[in-house]
């Protein structure tokens, strides 16, 4: 057992923290700041800030130098993610590209794709969306119906995607398309890269129950996509997608822990403002939530240990997903409970603006749905970890 | 032994359901919710409710009301919950109950008739900012002349109410009502006051809330003249809180049953992995557990309303049981509704969030589970010999 | 809504209470009494006492007079059950006969069966066991393998039954046997009535985790059963069994409520003795359990209302089973929790003997298993009440 | 970053598992449990444990021990939990930890060597009848001469222990140890005393318990002479309780993992309705949730043991997290084990109840969840600025 990071990682942390201290506006560190900014303005602020961070050398932390990365270790990546949270930096607006697409391109992209995709993404010149889910194909990805028909050296794509983060603001989308007519389930799929600005691509924002519109629907009507804009090979989409999704290995756990403890502290402050932090019953509930956050931290350290040693995580990412999503959602259930009658109001007293925490509380209802619902994750754990016989 | 609604009560439920389906379905609710600057009080619905006599359900017949009990009122509340219906119906019924119980004959005559036919919108203001439900949560003081100072928060529809029943602490507890000699409770420095919205010293500000189906407002009172309900005292406040808890529980039970039914319907149709989602056993068993919980909550609300109507000795216990069980059933059922609708359940354009948010509000209204469970402990732990 | 009982039911209650007051020894009313008596002695005491109660006219309360019953109403039956609990009377040793077998015999028995079975059962001259479950056929009754082969006018029965209450003490057993060779699942079954004393019938007691041995296994080795000892017709066993099980319609809810509130009070006394009844956290937990007990009471009143009106309860008995079994089990989980470190000891202090409550706590682990496990009940509710599509 | 057991620690776990499989499997456990009048301390097992050096795992090398940490001890505790192993191993390790930390050099020399090779059975007596874990739960008083009066309850294997570490309150808190100058804690009127079983004034009575794998006894002390551990104080008691909590949590985690694995194995084979029971989704998903919980508890115990070994600043929090998470995981996993074995899981002749009952006992040992969660609140709620 050794929970320290190597000296070079700690040096990196010091360097990063110095940069963050100089480059995070004080206003951003006020709890609830981002709920006070309009969605358009917030996006622009975040995009620009992240670009500057990249130019300062704090992007692609664990990517090879040849791709513009820093050539660091998984530990440095975890430190980066975690210190950003601690410094109240905004979340990345390009995370689907950075986390999923980029390593996939590095692994199976053509030389030209590597050049065209990775650098511009790193500098936030191109914001990437993901187009996997469809109406009727949420947890069951293989049921998707968006299809592309080859016409010359272009695919003519028709269909609809849903739950696309930043659909209205992104520049390009990586998306699963059925390119082999008559194929079914996992066969005949391809991962296509499409410009969001081309004729026939339309976006409709989806307003969430919290009132925010981070998601959108994307409609393709006779969109023409050059066959060269396929990642991982035509007809090989399922394998490419599985590779792509494998890069979410729960390595974000340490920064999630940092973020959720921030939320926990914020919730404690609210309880105190309402004079309820001394209530023995609420204290037990808060403590119970804290237990799950601490366990998430341990799980994240476990995952980082495995990743650093190059071990195959297998279905461990399902364990991580279940733990973080339920710990996070549960924390906000306790938040709602401790508010008592104030739960109905955004500003229960003059000094207490709960708008941001309230939006986060609604948001937590979604985290057990997307990215593989809790039900899907439990099936994976039951069958692949416990080895229980498959249900029919 | 007849533990069930009567045929008349069942018919009343049917009538409410039919009217809502016909004239105020979820599209109409959505229009109210989306009109965030509107007052959240659709006039046509209010007229229809008034015409049906549902505002006068508990108004005595001598004042032109139906003269029925809380058991009948909860039938309506439940259907309103199932339809996530906007408007100050419950608030008005509660204000009427206070005037009926503790008002002078003149006050009763002046308020109950117009209230019953929909001419008077009323509400109750029982707690201050950050305060709980009960005497300790009141932040309004009355002086001997009946002038009110202080604040109330989260008051349903105060911004459209003509008359507001305000709970206030009193510096010198007045003697028990001299004339009526009701002999209720021990006074204890709390009174209920009838306040008109237009009076001097009354400031009402809308409060942004999470549940678009029900609008809330804050009251700031500075020497506002009000008329004391002469029979009111701490017991009167407790009675009002009990009734409020039962109506909130009934609404929650309606929300919960509707959430469950809509989830069952959706997942019977929705296909994933080549099968209807509702055929997956983990989901099906969870919904079965929710059916049991919702059924128990329905029973509990029935029993509590009856116990109050009949003044049964275990009425206090029954109310606390009903509210805490309804809280649990509705909280679980609406959370499951979001989860088992998949991504769509989390969107603004789907109706799911109406149910989820209304449940959130009501779970804390008229006492959260923490408060009611401690009440149950007082009644069942501390009394064991 | 009318929660009163009719005058004749209240008169019956008064009469019964008078008899009980005169016929329940004071020692029996001391909490924990039955844990201090040996199992053999306890059985004899209970058998004899119940016989005297029957002779006094307090048996078969809602049975027709022609069968020796009292011809009363379901409400009177509920009053009877509930007052017995209140008076600390022991539970019936013949309940499987009284609740299940007797009404089935009344419905489909031959005239001779009616005479031979009902009277002696009512007077506890014959104690009946039930032989349904088998190893490998617990929740899945139709998988049973005990079989009978016709030889002349007798069936030669071989097989094994398990979870038979009072197997070692009962006189006769009603049991499901596959009487049609080669049949499967629900077909070819018969309900046979077998003397426990005949050659080839052997009993092995099963000790429970609580240390008590109320259950047993029954082995049949070439046991000869006259074909006349079949109830409901040869080959018609499944229908007969379903009829039989339908008589458990949750009508016991009111007396269960009474019993569980007694346990609740007893648990509160233990909490007080340990100085923990003022702990706000434990008070919430106790209150949460009480909510479920009160709900069980309402459900019981609902069921009684339906039964009195002759309505078909459908799957409501599954709702009742889930509610009572989980409320009861949960109450004892809270009991264990409030004991703190004392949970490990049968007598944590000189004045506190928890043996009986401890046995009851272990017992509650079984109530979500037998009589249709919670899993089976949920499937019934999901499919028959909610109408969800059947799983495959 | 290396959050995992070392290869050596993994090998140790493997060795413990192999020895138990070979020489003390569940049949051997059953023989101990069924022999209700026996002392519950199988001598051959004790010899084997001693030979392996597992009693000396935390004994310093200068006293002939392995000189390892709590992280290593929890490896053994976890396997003993998985094997529901009887005997005073954990009690002896804890007594050794107290002597090592707070004993004089002479006491250490006299006790640690024999303890490490299995010649001395020891245990700790830290709470009175009905008392909790902590200074407030102690019911033994020491006088200035080191004589002990009072009672301790639920002491593991006191009836076979040669040496018992007894927590006692002290009328006049002695100054901080003059010679050693350890500077630990503030004293506070609590000390640890080394008591020999055979001394005058010591009465030991077996106590009937629910967990046949671990025997308990009560101590009644009337002027029993004992030797104070000179370095002991309130902080020493707290440290002992922390170590006890981690070992109990490790045992629970072993119980939980074994309960889950055995349930998976059983329900993979058991067929109902024509399918393996384990293929029913409701059960499978519940077991998946249990796997997550048990995994988290395993991590938490690892972290807590390491935090104590390394004196990390969050060690108190880590211990409370580990014990409460282990409590929850083991409570849920063993209850599920009973439920998902069907009827057989409820019988004496099946092994299920060993796990269920051992978990029941350990969940309350060295602080129940109530106590540890309040500790977490003190450390994470009250400290937020």
Give whole-number Cα distances, C39 to A7, C35, C199, C211, D347, in Å: 71, 9, 26, 11, 17
Q: Residues of chain B whose pLDDT is less than 70? A: 172-188
pLDDT digits (tens, 9 = 90+) for A189-200: 999 999 999 999
What residues in D contact A10, CB-CB < 8 Å?
none
What residues in B contact C31, CB-CB < 8 Å?
none
Question: What pLDDT score does A144 carry?
Answer: 92
| Interface list for A 38-67 with C (CB within 8 A) | none
Residue of C341, C368, C374 with shortest CB distance to D133: C341
Encoded tokens for D281: 């989704």
Work out the pLDDT band at A214, boundaries 50, 70, 90: confident
Tell me the angle at which helices D315-340 and D352-364 cross, rounded to the nearest 10 degrees.
150
Q: Is the torsion defined by CA of A12, A13, A16, A18 positive or negative?
A: negative
Q: What average pLDDT does this structure show over A37-52? A: 94
Question: What pLDDT score does A86 carry?
Answer: 96
Please, where in chain D does CATH 2.40.110.10 lie? 122-232
Residues A227, A234: contact at Cβ < 8 Å?
yes
Question: What pLDDT score does B179 carry?
Answer: 41
Residues B312, B306: contact at Cβ < 8 Å?
yes
pTM: 0.95
Residues D89, D265: contact at Cβ < 8 Å?
no
What residues in D contact C160, CB-CB < 8 Å?
none
**Cβ separation C375–D130 shorter than 8 A:** no
Gyration radius of chain B's alpha carbons: 21
Q: Is the pLDDT of residue A153 over 60?
A: yes
Strand partners, D102: none
Strand partners, C205: C216
Measured between alpha carbons, how far is B31 from B39 in angstroms, rounded to an integer? 12
DSSP D213-276: TS-EEEEEEEEEE-EE-TT-SHHHHHHHHHHHHHHHHHHHHHHHHHHHHHHHHHHHH-EETTEE
| Interface list for C 252-281 with A (CB within 8 A) | 279-281
Work out the pLDDT band at A275, boundaries 50, 70, 90: very high
**Cβ separation D381–A286 shorter than 8 A:** yes
Determine the distance in angstroms separating the CA of A261 from the nearest CA of chain B, rounded to an integer: 24
Pick the residue from chain C with its C-alpha nearest to A282.
Answer: C281
What residues in C contact B299, CB-CB < 8 Å?
295, 298-299, 301-302
**Cβ separation D377–A301 shorter than 8 A:** no
Determine the distance in angstroms separating the CA of B199 from the nearest CA of chain C, rounded to an integer: 43
Q: Most D CBs within 10 Å: which of A298, A314, A377, A379, as the mutation test of the D interface? A: A298
What residues in B contact A370, CB-CB < 8 Å?
343
Of A39, A154, A248, A266, the active-site residue reads: A248
Q: Given 2.170.120.20, 2.40.110.10, 3.10.180.10, 3.30.43.10, which CATH number is that of D122-232?
A: 2.40.110.10
Residue of B132, B210, B282 with shortest CB distance to A344: B210
DSSP A56-104: TT-SSTTS-GGGT-----HHHHHHHHHHHHHTTPPPPSSHIIIIIIHHH
Question: What pLDDT score does D182 carry?
Answer: 41
Determine the distance in angstroms separating the CA of D30 from the nearest CA of chain A, rounded to an integer: 27
Q: Given 1.10.10.10, 1.20.140.10, 3.40.50.2300, 1.20.1560.10, which CATH number is that of B235-383?
A: 1.20.140.10
Residues D218, D159: contact at Cβ < 8 Å?
no
Instruction: Evaluate whether the domain defined by C7-93 bears CATH number 1.10.540.
Output: yes
**Cβ separation C143–D273 shorter than 8 A:** yes
Strand partners, B193: B166, B228
pLDDT digits (tens, 9 = 90+) for D40-49: 999 999 999 9
**Cβ separation C366–D127 shorter than 8 A:** no
Encoded tokens for B265: 């319907």
Cα angle value C29/C30/C35 (rounded, 5°): 105
Query: β-pairing, C215-226 with D122-125?
Result: unpaired
Q: Is the pLDDT of residue A392 over 90?
A: no
Determine the distance in angstroms separating the CA of B270 from the nearest CA of chain A, rounded to an integer: 7
| Residue A180 a catalytic site member | no
Tokens 């990071």 correspond to: A5
**Cβ separation B300–C294 shorter than 8 A:** yes
Which residues, 6 or more positions from A374, have their beta carbon under 8 angstroms from its beta carbon?
A321, A322, A325, A326, A368, B339
Residues C240, C233: contact at Cβ < 8 Å?
yes
Q: Given 1.10.540.10, 3.40.50.300, 3.40.50.970, 2.60.40.1080, which CATH number is that of B7-116?
A: 1.10.540.10
| Interface list for D 254-283 with B (CB within 8 A) | 280-282
Residue of B208, B346, B364 with shortest CB distance to A340: B364
pLDDT digits (tens, 9 = 90+) for D178-229: 444 343 334 459 999 999 999 999 999 999 999 999 999 999 999 999 999 9
Pick the residue from chain C with its C-alpha nearest to B319.
Answer: C291
Measured between alpha carbons, how far is A70 from A54 in angstroms, rounded to an integer? 10
Measured between alpha carbons, how far is A271 from A284 in angstroms, rounded to an integer? 13
Residue of A139, A345, A349 with shortest CB distance to B216: A345
Short-list C296, C292, C290, CA closest to C271: C290
Residue of C265, C290, C379 with shortest CB distance to B376: C290
Question: What pLDDT score does B178 carry?
Answer: 40
Determine the distance in angstroms separating the CA of A282 from the nearest CA of chain C, rounded to an integer: 9
Determine the distance in angstroms separating the CA of C279 from the nearest CA of chain A, rounded to an integer: 9
pLDDT digits (tens, 9 = 90+) for D111-127: 999 999 999 999 999 99
Measured between alpha carbons, how far is D362 from D366 in angstroms, rounded to an integer? 8
Pick the residue from chain B with its C-alpha nearest to C284.
Answer: B373
Short-list A215, A163, A209, CA closest to A359: A209
| Interface list for A 277-316 with C (CB within 8 A) | 279-281, 284
Q: Which chains, if any, share at least 3 CB pairs under 8 A with chain D?
A: A, B, C
Measured between alpha carbons, how far is B374 from B381 in angstroms, rounded to an integer? 10
What residues in B contact D284, CB-CB < 8 Å?
282
How high does pLDDT run on average in chain A? 94
Phi-psi region of A156 (alpha: psi -120 to 50; beta: other; left: phi over 0): beta
Measured between alpha carbons, how far is D300 from D306 in angstroms, rounded to an integer? 10
Short-list D341, D350, D131, CA closest to D237: D131
Short-list A78, A13, A83, A97, CA closest to A308: A78
Measured between alpha carbons, how far is A209 from A356 in angstroms, rounded to an integer? 14
Work out the pLDDT band at D60, boundaries 50, 70, 90: very high
Measured between alpha carbons, how far is A311 from A313 in angstroms, rounded to an integer? 6
Please, where in chain B does CATH 1.20.140.10 lie? 235-383
Q: For residue C151, how many other CB atoms are within 10 A of its CB? A: 11
Topology of domain A128-235 in CATH is Butyryl-CoA Dehydrogenase, subunit A; domain 2 (2.40.110)
Pick the residue from chain A with its C-alpha nearest to B357.
Answer: A344
**Cβ separation C284–B279 shorter than 8 A:** no
Residue of A209, A339, A365 with shortest CB distance to B364: A339
pLDDT digits (tens, 9 = 90+) for C11-31: 999 999 999 999 999 999 998
DSSP C85-130: HHTTPPPPSSHIIIIIIHHHHHHH--HHHIIIIIHHHHTTSS-EEE
Helix, strand and coil content of chain D, in percent to the nearest 5, comes to 55, 15, 30
Q: Is the torsion defined by CA of A20, A22, A23, A25 positive or negative?
A: positive
Strand, helix or coil at D179?
coil
Q: List chain A domain ranges.
A: 7-93, 128-235, 248-385
Determine the distance in angstroms separating the CA of A6 from the nearest CA of chain D, rounded to an integer: 8
**Cβ separation D285–B284 shorter than 8 A:** no
Strands of chain B, DSSP E: 122-125, 140-142, 147-156, 163-169, 190-196, 202-207, 216-225, 227-228, 271-272, 275-276
Tokens 């296509």 correspond to: A192
Of C39, C248, C266, C333, the active-site residue reads: C248
Question: What pLDDT score does A140 carry?
Answer: 86
DSSP A223-246: EEEETTSEES-TT-HHHHHHHHHH
Taking the Cβ of residue B149 and every Cβ of chain D, the question of whether any pair is shorter than 8 Å is answered with: no
Measured between alpha carbons, how far is D102 from D234 in angstroms, rounded to an integer? 11
What residues in A contact B282, CB-CB < 8 Å?
375, 378
Percentage of residues in chain B having pLDDT higher than 70:
96
Q: Given 3.20.20.140, 3.40.50.920, 1.10.760.10, 1.20.140.10, which CATH number is that of A248-385?
A: 1.20.140.10
Tokens 């664990």 correspond to: A62
Q: What average pLDDT does this structure show over C139-152? A: 92
What residues in B contact A367, CB-CB < 8 Å?
none
**Cβ separation C207–D282 shorter than 8 A:** no
**Cβ separation A1–D381 shorter than 8 A:** no
Give whole-number Cα distances, B93 to B115, B238, D159, in Å: 9, 16, 70
Residues B369, B377: contact at Cβ < 8 Å?
no
Measured between alpha carbons, how far is C199 from A277 in angstroms, rounded to an integer? 71
**Cβ separation C386–B287 shorter than 8 A:** yes
Work out the pLDDT band at D371, boundaries 50, 70, 90: very high
Q: Which chains, if any, share at least 3 CB pairs under 8 A with chain C?
A: A, B, D
Tokens 């109990």 correspond to: D248
Determine the distance in angstroms separating the CA of D6 from the nearest CA of chain A, rounded to an integer: 7
């Amino acid at each position: 057992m050794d929970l320290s990071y190597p000296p070079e990682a700690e040096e990196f942390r010091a360097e990063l923290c110095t940069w963050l201290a100089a480059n995070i506006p004080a206003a951003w560190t006020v709890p609830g700041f981002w709920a006070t900014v309009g969605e358009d303005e917030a996006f622009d602020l975040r995009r620009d800030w992240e670009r500057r961070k990249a130019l300062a050398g704090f992007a692609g932390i664990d990517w090879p130098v040849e791709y513009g990365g820093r050539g660091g270790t998984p530990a440095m990546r975890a430190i980066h993610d975690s210190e950003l949270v601690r410094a109240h930096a905004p979340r990345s607006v390009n995370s689907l590209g950075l986390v999923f697409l980029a390593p996939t391109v590095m692994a199976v992209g053509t030389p030209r794709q590597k050049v065209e995709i990775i650098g511009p993404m790193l500098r936030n010149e191109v914001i990437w969306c993901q187009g996997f889910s469809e109406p009727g194909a949420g947890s069951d990805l293989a049921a998707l119906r968006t299809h592309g028909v080859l016409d010359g050296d272009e695919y003519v794509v028709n269909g609809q995607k849903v739950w696309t983060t930043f659909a209205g603001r992104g520049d390009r989308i990586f998306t699963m398309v059925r390119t082999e007519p008559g194929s079914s389930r996992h066969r005949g799929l391809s991962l296509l890269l499409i410009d969001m600005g081309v004729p026939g691509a339309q976006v409709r924002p989806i307003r969430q129950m919290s009132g925010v519109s981070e998601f959108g629907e994307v409609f393709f009507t006779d969109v023409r996509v050059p066959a060269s804009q396929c990642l991982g090979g035509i007809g090989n989409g399922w394998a490419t997608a599985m590779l792509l999704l494998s890069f979410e290995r729960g390595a974000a756990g340490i920064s999630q822990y940092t973020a959720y403890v921030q939320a926990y502290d914020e919730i404690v402050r609210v309880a105190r403002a309402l004079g309820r932090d001394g209530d023995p019953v609420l204290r037990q509930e808060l403590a119970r939530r804290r237990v799950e956050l601490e366990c998430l931290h341990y799980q994240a350290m476990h995952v980082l240990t495995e990743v650093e040693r190059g071990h195959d995580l297998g279905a461990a990412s399902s364990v991580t997903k279940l733990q973080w999503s339920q710990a996070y959602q549960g924390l906000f259930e306790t938040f709602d409970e401790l508010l008592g009658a104030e739960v109905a109001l955004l500003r229960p007293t003059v000094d207490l603006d709960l708008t941001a925490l309230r939006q986060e509380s609604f948001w937590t209802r979604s985290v057990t749905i997307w990215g593989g619902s809790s039900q899907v994750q439990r099936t994976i754990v039951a069958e692949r970890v416990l080895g229980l016989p498959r249900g029919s | 032994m007849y533990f069930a609604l009567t045929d008349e009560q069942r018919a009343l439920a049917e009538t409410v359901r039919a009217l809502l389906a016909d004239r105020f379905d979820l599209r109409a609710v959505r229009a109210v919710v989306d009109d965030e600057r509107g007052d959240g009080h659709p006039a046509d619905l209010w007229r229809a409710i008034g015409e049906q006599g549902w505002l006068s359900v508990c108004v005595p017949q001598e004042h032109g009301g139906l003269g029925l009990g809380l058991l009948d009122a909860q039938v309506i509340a439940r259907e309103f919950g199932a339809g996530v219906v906007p408007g100050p119906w419950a608030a008005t019924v509660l204000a009427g109950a206070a005037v009926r119980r503790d008002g002078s004959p003149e006050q009763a005559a002046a308020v109950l008739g117009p209230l019953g036919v929909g001419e008077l919108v009323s509400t109750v203001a029982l707690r201050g900012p950050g305060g709980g439900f009960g005497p300790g949560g009141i932040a309004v003081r009355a002086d001997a002349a009946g002038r009110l100072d202080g604040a109330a928060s989260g008051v349903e529809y105060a911004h459209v109410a003509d008359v507001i029943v305000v709970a206030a602490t009193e510096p010198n507890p007045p003697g028990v009502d001299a004339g009526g000699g009701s002999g209720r409770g021990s006074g204890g420095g709390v009174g209920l006051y009838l306040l008109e919205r237009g009076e001097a010293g009354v400031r009402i500000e809308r409060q942004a809330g999470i549940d678009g189906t029900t609008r809330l407002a804050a009251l700031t009172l500075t020497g506002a003249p009000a008329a004391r309900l002469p029979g009111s005292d701490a017991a009167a406040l407790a009675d009002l809180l009990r009734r409020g808890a039962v109506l909130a529980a009934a609404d929650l039970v309606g929300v919960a049953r509707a959430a469950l039914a809509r989830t069952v319907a959706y997942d019977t149709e929705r296909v994933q992995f080549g099968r209807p989602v509702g055929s997956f056993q983990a989901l099906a068993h969870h919904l079965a557990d929710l059916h049991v919980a919702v059924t128990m909550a329905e029973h509990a609300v029935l029993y509590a309303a009856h116990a109050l109507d009949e003044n049964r000795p275990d009425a206090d216990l029954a109310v606390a049981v009903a509210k805490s069980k309804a809280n649990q059933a509705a909280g679980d059922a609406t959370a499951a509704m979001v989860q088992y609708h998949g991504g769509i359940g989390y969107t603004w354009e789907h109706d799911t969030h109406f149910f989820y948010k209304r449940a959130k509000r009501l779970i804390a209204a008229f006492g959260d589970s923490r408060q009611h469970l401690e009440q149950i402990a007082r009644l069942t732990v501390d009394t064991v010999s």
